[in-house]
């Protein structure tokens, strides 16, 4: 028995860091994908292969005994083996076109695709069930995950998310391209989140003011998306970047990338935790190639993406 599933990566368009403190964030799925192929086997082992490495363990081995970036996939395999009383093992292969460790949702997309692929060996699960399985799996490596990334990787398109109300899809016919620029600097999201929390404790009034401004900004974004007002989004990105600079999550490399991108794009900002990872630039067909050319001439790793409206796909 074989089961295949594919899920897209994501970017945070607006609201990173502020979302931790109850402000809405806007995320979208992108057309970079991960594919997971699962098979039942007659062995008593769980075998995982990916670009992060490979692992083969007895299916009876406890999760508490393991320390591996592949833990989410072992968790999902063990859960399905137990739930459906499978007498054999499971083999899982992960193929990803999403750069890892730079804030593009690689781990969440992998968890979503793996949840669908592995569970698909035994039964057809709804997307609601898949996203819950994916969040459970991701929590084996990121205990404080909000579920926002797994949600947008499952359902696709553009979503708004906040801690109190969860996610809601934003209906928009816009399918604008984005340019993603990879700094090549990996980062620890947890460390950057802690850095922002330290800023908040030392600058309560400034942080409170920034939260209010971010709320106003995100409301403008939602209105622009619903009205298909594309050109305003670039300006809002530039404004959001100013707030992220004040939080201290930027650096000279990211600033230089943004400065170069903004010579031709409508606006740019950090996406994700910051202090490394990627920036995104808002473009259309008229300035897409000039923006890519400018960045490439400065030896930056960059590529265009579009919004992925499909989300999780199974085969």
Give the alpha-carbon dihedral of 44, 46, 49, 54, to 10 degrees: -90
Supply the angle between the helices 288-297 and 252-261 in degrees, to the nearest 10: 140
In order of 141, 197, 290, the CA distances from 99 in angstroms are 18, 27, 23
Main-chain phi, psi angles of 269, to 5 degrees: -160, 165
How is the beta sheet containing 278-282 ordered, strand by strand?
267-271, 278-282, 178-182, 301-305
Tokens representing residue 151 in the block? 């949600």
Query: Is residue 149 annotated as a catalytic residue, yes or no?
Result: yes
Pairing of strands 45-50, 89-96: parallel
- How many whole angstroms separate alpha carbon 77 and alpha carbon 231? 45
Classify the phi-psi angles of 311: left when phi > 0, otherwise alpha if psi is within -120 to 50, otherwise beta.
left
The active-site residue out of 47, 85, 128, 149 is: 149
- How many whole angstroms separate alpha carbon 93 and alpha carbon 25? 32
Could you give the residue numbers annotated as active site?
149
């Amino acid at each position: 028995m074989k089961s295949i599933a594919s899920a897209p990566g994501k970017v945070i368009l607006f609201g990173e860091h502020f979302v931790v403190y109850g402000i809405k964030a806007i995320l979208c799925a992108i057309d970079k994908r991960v594919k997971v192929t699962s098979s039942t086997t007659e062995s008593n082992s769980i075998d995982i292969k990916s670009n992060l490495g490979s692992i083969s363990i007895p299916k009876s081995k406890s999760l508490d005994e393991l320390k591996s970036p592949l833990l989410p996939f072992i968790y999902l395999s063990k859960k399905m083996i137990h739930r459906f009383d499978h007498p054999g093992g499971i083999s899982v292969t992960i193929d990803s076109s999403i750069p890892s460790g730079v804030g593009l949702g690689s781990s969440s997309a992998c968890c979503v695709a793996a949840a669908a692929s592995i569970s698909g060996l035994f039964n057809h699960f709804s997307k609601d069930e898949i996203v819950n399985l994916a969040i459970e799996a991701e929590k084996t490596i990121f205990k404080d995950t909000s579920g926002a990334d797994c949600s947008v990787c499952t359902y696709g398109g553009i979503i708004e998310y906040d801690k109190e109300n969860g996610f809601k899809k934003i209906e928009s016919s816009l399918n604008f391209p984005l340019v993603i620029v990879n700094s090549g600097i990996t980062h620890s999201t947890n460390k950057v989140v802690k850095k922002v929390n330290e800023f908040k404790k030392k600058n309560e009034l400034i942080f409170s003011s920034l939260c209010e401004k971010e709320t106003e900004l995100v409301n403008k974004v939602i209105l622009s998306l619903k009205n298909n007002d594309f050109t305003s989004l670039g300006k809002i990105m530039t404004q959001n970047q100013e707030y992220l600079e004040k939080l201290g999550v930027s650096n000279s490399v990211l600033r230089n990338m943004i400065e170069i991108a903004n010579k031709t794009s409508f606006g740019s900002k950090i996406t994700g935790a910051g202090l490394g990872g990627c920036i995104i630039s808002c473009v259309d067909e008229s300035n897409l190639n000039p923006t890519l050319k400018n960045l490439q001439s400065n030896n930056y790793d960059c590529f265009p993406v579009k919004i992925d409206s499909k989300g999780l796909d199974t085969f």
